Amino acid sequence: MGGKIERKKRVESLYILKAICSILVVIVHAELCGKAAILPLLGIATPCFLAITGFLLYSADKERELGKATKWAKKSLGLSLVCNAMYLTLYLLDGAPLSRYSMGDFLMILLTGHVISTHLWYLTAMWQGLLIMWLLRRFSPRAIYFVPLLYIFAYILRAYGKLLFPELSSDTLFLMRTNAIVTALPFLATGYLVHKHHAQILSRVNILICLAGFLLLIYAEYALRLYINTGGSIFFLCTWPLVVCLMLACCRYKDFTLPVLGRIGRIHSANIYYFHVILLIYFNRFWPEETTWQALLIYAATLPVSMLFNLAHSGWQKLTGKFKACQTREARV
């Protein structure tokens, strides 16, 4: 059997990983003193978010699994529309003309998600990836084992796309490498398979040695890229195995937690991804000279924004819950 982790017991260490990855996401987009030293690690942030979703998606109960995939895909689609509307409103209030966006741009939100704010590709890729995972689980479960191989295409496009396809624009390359097929789906499937087979894998390998080995390899490739000046991205060949090792380490030390980071990872990490760009825009406008600690300041400022959003969301749920309850009572009468 797959060595399934008990459903009622959370893997606490996953939330520590989510919190750390939310910090890395902010560092990707903002400035930080010594950022170059951790550049090879920045590429694990979004893949880890996707892999954790795939990990939590897995269930020995097929119908429960399909239900989660459906529910989470709908939620990601809704979040994508809300976040795009929010960023569009912000830009319009800031003076951007509505005419800069065509009807085709708004349709592209459903296909790529990058039109209004480029980082929102993640939400579009998420719901599309979950939909594909639903289809694979429903009709061809064995095919899931081959899906992580798609990472090879993401790696090539991200690391060497400019060298291989110099005639393509930056926007085209961005679309080719940040989508459900080559980025979201491989890591969703990876997390799914780690959950399913973690017990067998951990019984055969020393995960800490593997983790250290892949860290060394990822920095070795980083040094090689600097030497040959490829002009690549923060994705490396060992990004995928490093994500696998981190997921397995979380399974090995599933009860490890740090209260503050655990809470951030569980409650705020996704919101930090969605909203940090707003704060970055205004930070650059009013405090452009601060670059030493910019990422950490934005991260800290995003937390209260996340708290406010969660309060608003909770209030909306209570309001709609009361409305549905009233409708139910009226229907019974």
**Of 14, 9, 7, 55, the residue nearest 252 (C-alpha):** 14
Residue 321 inside a domain? The answer is no
192 closest CA partner among 112, 133, 107:
133
Decide: helix, strand or coil at residue 54: helix
| Secondary structure (DSSP) of 2-31 | --PPPTTS--HHHHHHHHHHHHHHHHHHS-
Rounded to an integer, what distance in angstroms lies between the CA atom of residue 253 and that of residue 262?
14
For residue 65, the SS3 value is helix
Residue 151 lies in a domain: yes
Distances (CA, A) of 68 to 46, 54, 276: 20, 11, 27
User: Which pLDDT score, from 0 to 100, does residue 327 have?
Assistant: 60
Q: Judge whether 157 lies within some domain.
A: yes
Tell me whether residue 322 is in a domain: no
The domain in which residue 164 lies consists of: 43-257
**Mean pLDDT in each 10-residue stretch from start to end of the chain (333 residues)?**
53 95 95 91 95 96 96 95 92 86 85 90 96 97 96 89 86 89 97 97 96 96 83 83 97 93 94 94 84 91 93 81 61 57
For the chain, the domain total comes to 1
**Is 133 contained in some domain?**
yes
How many other CB atoms are found less than 10 A from the CB of residue 116?
Answer: 21
What's the confidence (pLDDT) of residue 193?
Answer: 98
**Residue 15, in any domain of the structure:** no
The answer as to whether 309 is a domain residue is: no
Q: Report pLDDT for 331.
A: 57
Instruction: Tell me, yes or no, whether 19 lies in a domain.
Output: no
The tokens 């606490």 sit on which residue? 12
Q: How far apart are CA 68 and CA 70, in angstroms?
A: 5
pLDDT of residue 232: 61
